[in-house]
Homo-oligomer: A and B are copies of this chain.
Amino acid sequence: MKIPERILLAHGAGGRLSHELIEGVFLPAFSNPELESLDDAAILPELPPGRLAMTTDGHVVDPPTYPGGDLGSLSVNGTVNDLVMVGADPLYLSWALILEEGLEGEKLRQHVESARRAAEEAGVTIVAGDTKTVPRGRGDGIYAVSAGIGVVPEGRRVSDRRIEAGDAILLTGTAADHGATIMALRHGLEGPGLHSDCAPLNHLIGELWKGGIDIHAMHDPTRGGIATTCNEAASRSSLRFLLSAQAIPIAPGVYAVCEILGLDELYLASEGRALIFLPGNQSEAALEILHAHPQGRDAASIGVVLPAEAGHAPVELETLSGSLRPLDMLSGMDLPRIC
Q: Which A residues lie at the B interface, using CB under 8 A? A: 8-10, 12-19, 37-44, 46-47, 51-60, 81-83, 85-86, 88, 92, 94-98, 127-135, 137-140, 143, 145, 147-150, 152, 159-160, 219-220, 222-224, 228, 232, 236, 267, 269, 329-338
Question: Do residues B336 and A223 form an inter-chain contact, with CB atoms below 8 A?
Answer: no
> Contacts A132-B60, A332-B15; is A44 near B55 (CB within 8 Å)?
no
What separation, in Å, do the CA atoms of A133 and B140 have in the docked complex? 12
Closest chain B residue, CB of each to CB of A12: B336
Question: Do residues B14 and A330 form an inter-chain contact, with CB atoms below 8 A?
Answer: yes
Question: Do residues A58 and B98 form an inter-chain contact, with CB atoms below 8 A?
Answer: yes
> Contacts A40-B55, A40-B85, A40-B219; is A330 near B15 (CB within 8 Å)?
yes
What separation, in Å, do the CA atoms of A98 and B83 have in the docked complex? 21
CB-based closest 4 A-B pairs: A14-B223, A15-B330, A147-B147, A56-B94
Give the dominant DSSP class at A's interface.
mixed
Question: Do residues B54 and A127 form an inter-chain contact, with CB atoms below 8 A?
Answer: yes
Question: Do residues B145 and A96 form an inter-chain contact, with CB atoms below 8 A?
Answer: yes
CB contact between A94 and one of B55, B220, B333 (< 8 Å): that residue = B55
> Contacts A41-B82, A41-B150, A152-B43; is A96 near B58 (CB within 8 Å)?
yes
Give the shortest distance, in Å, between A155 (CB) and chain B (any CB). 14
Give the shortest distance, in Å, between A261 (CB) and chain B (any CB). 16
What separation, in Å, do the CA atoms of A1 and B57 have in the docked complex? 24
Question: Do residues B42 and A128 form an inter-chain contact, with CB atoms below 8 A?
Answer: no
Question: Do residues A40 and B220 form an inter-chain contact, with CB atoms below 8 A?
Answer: yes
What separation, in Å, do the CA atoms of A94 and B171 have in the docked complex? 29
Question: Do residues A223 and B13 form an inter-chain contact, with CB atoms below 8 A?
Answer: yes
